[in-house]
Structure 1
Amino acid sequence: MIRVLFALILCAAPVLGQAGGTASAAQSTQAVHIEVNGEQQFWRNAPLIIQGTTFVPLRDVVQSVNGTLKWDSHTQTATIMVGRDKLVLQTGSTSIHVNQVSLTAPVSVRNVNGTLMVPVRAMANALKADIKVQRIASGQMSVNIVTDQVSQLQPDVVSVDTYLREINYPGMALIAQNGEILLKQGYGLADAQTLNRPDQKTRIASLSKSFTAASILSLAEAGKLDVQDPISTYISGIPKGDQITLHMLLSQTSGLPSAFGRGEDVTLEETVEEIRHKTLKFEPGSAYLYSNSGYVLLAYVVEQVSGMSYADYVQKTIFSPLGMKNSGEASRKVHTNSGFVQQDNAWVTAPYYVSQSGSGTIYSTVDDLLQWDRALYTDEILSQDTIETMYQPYSDKNYGYAWILKENGPKRTVFHNGSGGGFSTAFSRNLSDDITIILLGNHAGMDMTSLLDEVEVRTAKALQLK
């Protein structure tokens, strides 16, 4: 993990109107104050401002973060190793290659009188860094960059990180044992100009369902409903609504089909009206069928019983008490990373992911989901007796209430996966060994169940679990 702070104050730094101007990049740096981890350093070359863009000298930056740089004069290409990341830059290019992906820079890398200068924002993105640029008195400029302080990787699970890199996994990953983080990493692109960071907000797709199930169960603990109540108690007009219970909706045994219209301006009430006109696939309670529609109805029940919106209820009863400050119901006002879909053999940004309350609308982070994981070992949100009902297999598919049970001898693991709008996610909780694995991918079409299985096996091997 790199923990570096650059504090650059440019005093009368040169401003070049055109690339390749006559001013030298290798000028005196006495007027530039540079700090790395609170210690003043001296660069051989000063930052430059070229046509309004701040550039920093690549070799000096690399040395400051304890990286290595190899220069190929024939191709005008620099190859940099910083920690476990490989960066490749070429003079005149607007791309910075980081591992297996390419970041787009707003302006090109350029050679100024023999010194390779890189746009500072692009370099910050390549290092998963934060950047703050300020103009201060007397025309001076302060540039503060805080590089990656959130990634974590313990030696025991380096092999898992290596595997995720080898398969070009895109997204965020977290592995914890007994709540202690062993791996927290970002992989691939958040958007064309930014890498996925480990603290990135992202859509979690059907992992949202665990919060819907918990909301229903919290209302049950408060005596405001019973999971054996028929849905007709709360919503009229659902086919065989007097036979379909909340338990059946929770356990995916209601017989309701999954799909519903996903127009961005469609209200929850309008989606419920659409479900009223669906045809059941089988008699309620007689079989298993995964149904997003069922969880939409559960969200509507939450609203009817609590008198609050689904988003507000989940926020008040789960997110706020647990300090999940980076979680909520998604909207265009909330910035998350982009989902990607494949088009003409290339990955392109997916359209905005439209779902409906209860089924797949939540955004979160790996850290917040770890908070949720820890809470499920306590009575903070629900009692342990109630939580245990979430893990019971209510069909031959081992589906409980928004968790799927997987048994290996005496050991129990519960998990769930999700997909939609360019996002592919999975959440595994080994209840026996207290191993948590969270994978929040942002490419469509990934087989998250198989990936989760592979990561579980590799993690168990790395930790020498029997």
Structure 2
Amino acid sequence: MSTKKHSRLPGLLFFLCLGLGSLLSPALPLAAAQQTQVLTSAKVTLDGQEIAWTTSPLIDRGVTFVPLREAAERLGAEVKWKSAKHAAELRAHGDTILHRSGTNLFTVNGDPLRADGISITRGGATLVPLRALAEVLKADVGVVTTDGTMHVNLTPDPASITSPEAEVADRYFIAQRYSGIALIAKGDRILLRKGYGYDGENHLVRADRKSRIASLTKSFTAAAVMKLVEKGRLRLDDTLASYYPDFPSGDRITIHLLLSHLSGINPNFPREPGLSLQETIEAIRAKPLRVEPNSKFIYSNSGYVLLAGIIEKASGMRYGDYLNQNIWQPLGLSDTGEAKPSVPVIQGYVSAGDQLWAPAGPYLSQSGTGTLYSTVDDMLTWIASFETEQVLRQASIAQMFTPYSEKNYGYGWMIRQENGITRVFHNGSGTGYATGMSRELGGGYTIILLGNHSGMDTLTHMTEIRKRLP
């Protein structure tokens, strides 16, 4: 397969598309928002420790400025002056960040980010807006204001992990303009955990953010079914008709066929706001079969929606509640759940033509096939659990990892034998997102991609990344 390159907005076009705005969060006061309190000084600490600044931070028109070199180095960046570019170059976690004194523009791997103020020069040192510097270095900022002094505490990037073994993979992500979160592990050791690209206006993706996981949801649905099998609540040869008596040809469609995409059911279902699981199932019921059951592999989102309905009928619980009680809580997956407006996830983007990207609208799916969110850390815990019996018995896992068609699809996973190693993997897509997950069983490499650009070929990305690893 060929790799399709997806470019983020070049130069200032990104901001023309999204609209320019302030980088300041409410935690950092604007002059207009602080009319009742005049700030005269800023005290900046690192991890709560006092810093002996050579050039002191200052506040100018409501914006806190810090010396670029001193602050960046204390946050773990390497800083050099690039005479040819007339700019300071910062290197951190594989990213190249440029800033030219007297402007409000930073670039991160060539992508622009606007600060809330223009950098200034004092005593030969360049001072830049603190919030912008923290953003490009992905540092955390805490602010408290007392007695006319702003107390700011900086914490170096707490989430990104890079290593020499994954340096070539990191360069691949940057060259391919990958956008989203990526994790690479060897056994239990994380070699790379990093965010790429934008997460909304003037904000970068951070490695610990939540994201929609699209069809990686199917691995949870399949495991929930197998858990019910273990409990004796259903059987794989149960028919669809035993749960939905009036479903066309339901007496010939088994749970096994639904799990393995051999049911013949029309793969598409309506995606409308507020449509319930039962209403979606009724819409699926109204469509004729695409092919005869057990005659051909047809990847079917509808089949996994039906499985969500069966999980609810067999368990007597809502789909998400059953997953929470039987999978997420036992594994400690506290950052995984059903997507809803109250749970923030990284911003998804869709193509706006000519290599431009625009914020995506709502990503509508249905239980069973694409409704979940998670983090790369939770997904690593999840895929690693299949080499234990924390959730399922190994006999059940072996059934999930058995191919049942020429497409090498098991239950919620694709399976491939490569050089004597079993690799299980899946990809997913939805409005604004493209995801992928792969693991070599027995202590090999795990690759997890939670991308926030529609249309990225994550299967190719995972294949190309693996080629570049030792």
Task: State the TM bucket, normalised to the shorter chain.
Answer: 0.7 to 0.9
- The 1:76/1:162 distance shift into structure 2, 3 A limit, reads closer
TM-aligned CA deviation for residue 265 of structure 1: 1.4
State the Cα distance separating 1:255 from its structure 2 match: 0.7
Q: Do 2:216 and 2:435's aligned partners in 1 also have CA atoms closer than 8 Å?
A: yes
- Give SS of 1:143's match: strand
Report what 1:70 is aligned to: 81
What secondary structure, in the 3-state scheme, does the structure 1 residue paired with 2:177 have?
Answer: coil
| Selected match of 2:119 from 86, 110, 133 | 110
Alignment correspondent of 1:11: none
Q: Is the 8 A contact 2:104 2:119 kept in 1?
A: no
Q: Say which SS state the counterpart of residue 299 (structure 2) adopts.
A: coil
Aligned twin of 1:211? 220
Among 280, 285, 294, which residue is 2:289 paired with?
280
Name the CA distance, whole Å, in 1 between partners of 2:171 and 2:85: 29
Q: In the alignment, which residue of structure 2 is the partner of 1:267?
A: 276
Distance 1:233 1:92, change over 3 A: farther
Alignment-derived partner of residue 307 in structure 2: 298
Q: Normalising by structure 2, what TM-score?
A: 0.86
* Alignment of 1:144 onto 2:153: yes
Contact 2:47 2:153 survives alignment (8 Å): no
Secondary structure of 1:440's counterpart equals: strand
Aligned partner of 1:232 in structure 2 is 241
2:259 to 228, 237, 250: 250
Structure 1 equivalent of residue 435 of structure 2 = 425
| CA distance in structure 2 between the partners assigned to 1:156 and 1:215 by the alignment | 35
Q: Determine the structure 2 residue equivalent to 1:387.
A: 397
Distance in 2 between residues matched to 1:220 and 1:117, nearest whole Å: 63
Is 1:352–2:362 an aligned residue pair? yes
Gaps of 5+ in 1: 1-14, 18-26
SS of residue paired to 2:151 = strand
CA distance in 1, matches of 2:426, 2:127: 46
The question of whether the paired residues in 1 share the 8 Å contact of 2:44 and 2:151 is answered with: no
Q: TM-score normalized by structure 1?
A: 0.87
Distance (whole Å) between structure 2 residues aligned to residue 16 and residue 360 of structure 1: 44
1:363 aligns with 2:373: yes
Q: Which residue of 1 aligns with 2:64?
A: 54
1:168 to partner: Cα distance: 2.0
What is the letter of the counterpart of residue 78 of structure 2? G
**1:280-304 deviations in Å (ceiling 9; x for gaps):** 1111111100000000111111111
What are the within-5 Å matches in structure 2 for residues 430-449 of structure 1?
A: 430-449=440-459
How far apart are 1:336 and its partner, in Å? 0.6
Whether 2:55 is the aligned partner of 1:45: answer: yes
User: Identity percentage over the alignment?
Assistant: 42
Q: Which letter maps to 1:189?
A: Y
User: Residue in 1 aligned with 2:464?
Assistant: 454
Q: Which residue of 2 aligns with 1:202?
A: 211
Separation in structure 2 between the aligned mates of residue 38 and residue 141 of structure 1, nearest angstrom = 14
Residue-by-residue CA offset, 1:126-172 (whole Å, 9 max, x unaligned): 11111111112x22221112121222222222222222222222111
User: How many residues in Structure 1 have an aligned counterpart in Structure 2?
Assistant: 431
Change (3 A) 1:133 1:262: same
Deviations 1:74-125 (A, max 9, x none): 98743333352211224564442111322243x2323255653322222211
Residue 397, structure 1, aligned to residue 407, structure 2: yes
User: What letter is aligned with 1:41?
Assistant: I
Deviation string, structure 1 residues 61-86 (Cα, Å, up to 9, x no partner): 124235214266x9874333335221
Q: Residues 377-400 of structure 1, C-alpha deviation per residue, up to 9 Å, x if partnerless? A: 111110000001011111111110
Aligned CA distance change for structure 1 residues 208 and 412 (closer, same or farther; 3 Å): same
Change (3 A) 1:234 1:92: farther
* Counterpart contact for 2:66–2:127, Cα < 8 Å: yes
Kept after mapping to 2: 8 A contact 1:62/1:69: no
Distance 1:156 1:76 in 2: 33
Task: Quote the residue 2:231 is aligned against.
Answer: 222
Deviation at 1:37, TM superposition (A): 5.5
Q: Once the two structures are superposed, what CA deviation does each residue of 1:268-320 show, in whole Å capped at 9, x if it has no partner? A: 11111101101111111111000000001111111112121111111111111
- SS of residue in 2 equivalent to 1:348: strand
CA RMSD of aligned residues (A): 2.3
Map of 2:168 onto structure 1: 159
2:197 alignment partner in structure 1? 188
AA paired with 2:417?
E
**Structure with more contact order per residue of length (Cα contacts < 8 Å, sep ≥ 6):** 2
Determine helix, strand or coil for the equivalent of 2:387.
Answer: coil
1:227 CA displacement: 1.2
Cα offset for 1:337? 0.4
8 Å CA contact retained: 1:92, 1:109: yes
User: Helix, strand or coil: the match of 1:189?
Assistant: coil
Query: What SS does structure 1 have at the residue aligned with 2:199?
Result: strand
Compared CA separation, residues 320 and 258, structure 1 to 2 (3 A): same
In the superposition, relative to structure 1, how do residues 185 and 208 fare at CA in structure 2: closer, same or farther (>3 Å)? same
Name the residue aligned to 1:100.
110
Q: Which residue of 2 aligns with 1:343?
A: 352
Q: Within 1, Cα distance between the matches of 2:275 and 2:126?
A: 52
